[in-house]
Structure 1
């Protein structure tokens, strides 16, 4: 077992805890760089989707996992980014500029949602964001002159200058670059006073306010940053599919995104990537096991929704820390064996005494 002895504040806030982390993350990065040569085109496409969903998951993790504000309409920000990117690219805008506008416009929409939602929390905040999701879906379907309505919108492949990223490896590297930059940005944000303010608001709004944290400002900022990352993911999503329609950004997509961060592990950056892997892998596993099930069950139209619901119930009841929490338990078990105690990861109450007075 490794014992960490830190002698400075810089060591305490470092991105990498020790040389072991640097080695394994470096090995992972090397594997991702070599993926186009190691994987077939189909699996490389699935890995690209994992990176896109992880980008969106990082934003939702920042909002739900680190600030404590749940959104059940996050697919709306995904749709805003996707349609902004598609419309601007088809008009001839340069890809980087269209990508920046998609992220900024999604952030502006996030602020417009976050400001009215400041007065509500919990299930009421979820209902407010869900209503916003329905509004955006209806706008995308009715604004036919811009979005194409229910007929959908074709999106050109991304192009930087004369370089057209129309092959699978080239687009994969673009998604990998943006995912790495977003991850580093989130990690540095969480080490900053702003990130610590987000976590303080999640743990106890009363305590955070008593320490001088402006709740409205930081909650709105969390919504804006989360929406910007979702819009960025939506722009890549539009280019990957090259065709988008309003029904791709409905409430089921929002539930999938929320399921992704809950199963991956709320409150951890690793959880966004693990949840994205789960979200992409589950449909593959379900389709492969359909042939082994009775026809009445395997061909049922709601089989995937049923499986997702059962998985969510299992994680909420038996593994609230998600896939990343399960990995931490396994790692700690092997590190401390045979001295591992069953109650080491006992669920803690997330509220402070000051919250009980409400």
Structure 2
């Protein structure tokens, strides 16, 4: 088992805890860079979807996992980013400018939605964000001159300096750069005083306010950053699908996003990536498993929803920290083997019921 001996205060805010982390993260980056030459085109496309949803998950994790503000209408921000990108891309805007405008527009919408968070929280905040999601979906369907209405809107391939990213490999690298950049921004933000203010608000708003933290400012900022990342994910999603319609950003999509961060593990950037892998990989596993199920079950409609519901209930009841929490336990078990104890995780379970993780 590794013990980190800290000799500098900078080690508490370092991105990597020790040399082992730096080695494994470097190896992961090299594997992702080599993926276009190692994976078939289909799986490379699925990995691009993982990156897109990971960007959205990182933003939602910042809002829900680190600030304690839940949103059940986050797909609306994806829709705003996707339609803004489609509108600007068809008019020949450079990719960097159109992505920045899509993120800015989503961030402004996030501030507007964050205003109710100043006075309500918990279930009432969830209802407010849900209502915003319905409003945006209806606006996208009605504003036919810009969005195309229910008929949808086509999205051209992204271009950088006249170089079209119209292949799976080229678009994969674009998604890789965006997800790495977004993750580094959020990680550095969490190490800064702003991120510590977010965590203080999550733990106790009264205590945070007593320490001089401006709740209105930091809650609005958290919503804006989270919405901007969702807008970036929506813009990339539109380019990947090459066609968008209001139904793609409905309540079902918002529930999938919440499911992604809860199952991945609230309060952890790793959990955002685990959740994105789950959201993209689970339909593939269900499709593979249908062949081994009876026809009455395998061909039944709604099988995916039933599996998602069962998995969510299982994690909420047995593993509140999600996939990342389970990985931490497995890693600890491997590090302590064969000296682990049968009840070594009971104290951690009681800690999860404390105010800190609410």
TM-score, reference length from structure 2: 0.97
Distance across 1 between alignment mates of 2:72 and 2:345: 34
- Structure-2 residue corresponding to 1:167: 167
Q: Which residue of 2 aligns with 1:32?
A: 32
Contact preservation (8 Å) 1:203, 1:350? no
- Paired residue for 1:345? 348
Q: Deviations over 1:147-177 (max 9, x none)?
A: 0000000000000112111111111001001
My pick for the range that moved more, 313-322 or 297-306, is 297-306
With over 3 angstroms needed to count, the CA separation of the structure-2 counterparts of 1:104 and 1:350, relative to structure 1, is: farther
| 8 Å CA contact 2:116, 2:125 repeated in 1 | no
Equivalent runs, 1:112-151 vs 2, <5 Å:
112-151=112-151
Within the alignment, does 1:295 sit opposite 2:298 as a pair? no
Q: How does 1:98-109 map to 2 (within 5 A)?
A: 98-109=98-109
In structure 2, how many angstroms separate the alpha carbons of the residues matched to 1:225 and 1:277?
22
CA displacement, residues 322-357 of structure 1 (integer Å, 9 cap, x when unaligned):
0000000011112123134232422323427xx9xx
Residue in structure 1 matched with residue 9 of structure 2 by the alignment: 9
8 Å CA contact 1:155, 1:238 repeated in 2: yes
Q: Partners in 2 of 1:18 and 1:342 — Cα distance?
A: 24
Structure 2 unaligned segments of length 5 or more: list them. Answer: none
Please list every run of 5 or more consecutive structure 1 residues that lacks an aligned counterpart in the other structure.
none
Shift of 1:110: 0.2
For the residue of structure 2 that corresponds to 1:7, the secondary structure is coil
Q: Distance in 2 between matches of 1:347 and 1:310?
A: 24
**Equivalent-residue separation in structure 2 for 1:344 and 1:29 (angstroms):** 35
Contact conserved, 2:291 with 2:298, CA < 8 A, in 1?
yes
Q: Hey, what's the Cα distance between the residues in 2 that align with 1:215 and 1:177?
A: 33
- Report the TM-score, using the length of structure 1 for normalisation: 0.97
Q: Deviations over 1:252-276 (max 9, x none)?
A: 0000000000000000000011100
Query: What does residue 60 of structure 2 align with?
Result: 60
Backbone CA RMSD of aligned residues? 1.2
Residue 282 (structure 1) shift: 0.6
What is the rounded CA distance, in whole Å, between the counterparts of 2:48 and 2:68 in structure 1? Answer: 28
Matches within 5 A, 1:259-270: 259-270=259-270
Instruction: Please tell me whether the aligned partners of residues 158 and 166 of structure 1 are also in contact (alpha carbons under 8 angstroms).
Output: yes
User: 2:115 matched to 1:92?
Assistant: no
SS in 1 for 2:69: coil
